[in-house]
Amino acid sequence: MTIVAMGREMGSQGLEVAHGVAAGLDAVVVHYEIIDHLGDRNRIRKSHVVRLLGQGDDVAKPLTIEDTLPTMLSATEILDIASIPENVVLRGWGAVALLREVPHVVRVRITAPFETRVRNLMRTARADDEERIREEIRLFDEAHAAVMRRHFDVDYRDPDLYDLVLDTSELPPGECAQCVIDYTRDKRFIETCESRMRLVSLSIAAHVRALLKLHPPTRDLKLNVGAEEGVVTLSGVVGSVDLKTRCERVAWRVPGIKAVRNELRVAA
């Protein structure tokens, strides 16, 4: 199974690269945004969710709920998709950071200089207002940086976050796609039992976090959740012994858990 996590940059021609990679790997392309990290909760315009797909969207067209909801997935859903035994290209914000601990995931950034991105979008978008296009790209980049910093504590421009960084102003999309395809064949990215278990552990931890956020008594707690080989570790500070116990009970609701190590401290 091959997984390519590809970031998004408006106007970079990343969509063409993603589809080229998918064709070469017989993979599906999943366009997404992680709902925990986007939308109204963080006051980021929902237009970015769809606009960044790079599919020639009309920048003047108001977007509806029907436009945006299909692209919004939770972190647990992204991890579940990555766990399906099928080649996949995950194109959106977050997966490159979310899956950075999984050795068989190839993390890719498709980029281009700002002026090149403006020209690309002017060609594909149904608009001739260059300043509007520039503003869309600037706002998109600001939101991208804020989301990645706030939720993953990374700078999306940091090359260390990626296995491969490609500039479509230097290489056309077709050649970029072939570079990614060739890169996935490197033995470093062969799926192993260990790498698969790392993905399972990340998925378990994400499910525990999601349940803690859904459970009203634990919703606002700021906790650390880790998982390794079916053992979940909870750490942080809670306000009472009852909350400490509740957190452990919630964690046990997630399938696949062998043990819960409750290291939560009760505030004095």
Contact present, 126 and 33 (Cβ < 8 Å)? no
Q: Of 163, 189, 215, which marks where a domain is finished?
A: 189
Q: Residue 44 has what pLDDT?
A: 44
Please give the distance of CA 195 from its chain centroid, rounded to a whole number.
18
Shared domain check, 153 and 45? yes
Shared domain check, 222 and 179? no
Q: Which of 78, 79, 53, 56 is nearest to 68 (CA)?
A: 53
Residue with tokens 């909350």: 243
In the chain, at which residue ranges do the beta strands (DSSP E only) sit? Answer: 3-6, 28-31, 33-34, 72-73, 88-91, 105-111, 164-167, 224-228, 231-238, 259-266
Contact present, 78 and 94 (Cβ < 8 Å)? yes
Range of the domain at 77: 3-189
Shared domain check, 112 and 47? yes
Q: Residue 71 has what pLDDT?
A: 60
We report the CATH number of the domain holding residue 61 as 3.40.50.300
Domain count of the fold of the chain: 2
Q: Residue 36 has what pLDDT?
A: 56
Shared domain check, 182 and 204? no
CA distance 242 to 44: 36
Shared domain check, 179 and 207? no
Q: Which H or E run contains 70?
A: none
| pLDDT values of the chain reduced to their tens digit, one per residue, 268 residues | 899 999 989 999 999 999 999 999 999 999 887 655 433 344 344 444 444 434 444 444 444 434 444 467 778 888 888 888 899 999 988 899 999 999 999 999 999 999 999 999 888 876 678 888 898 899 889 888 988 888 889 999 999 999 999 999 999 999 999 999 999 999 999 999 999 999 999 999 999 998 998 889 998 898 999 999 999 999 999 999 999 999 999 999 998 899 999 999 998 7
Q: Residue 35 has what pLDDT?
A: 58
We report the CATH number of the domain holding residue 216 as 3.30.300.130
Contact present, 30 and 98 (Cβ < 8 Å)? no
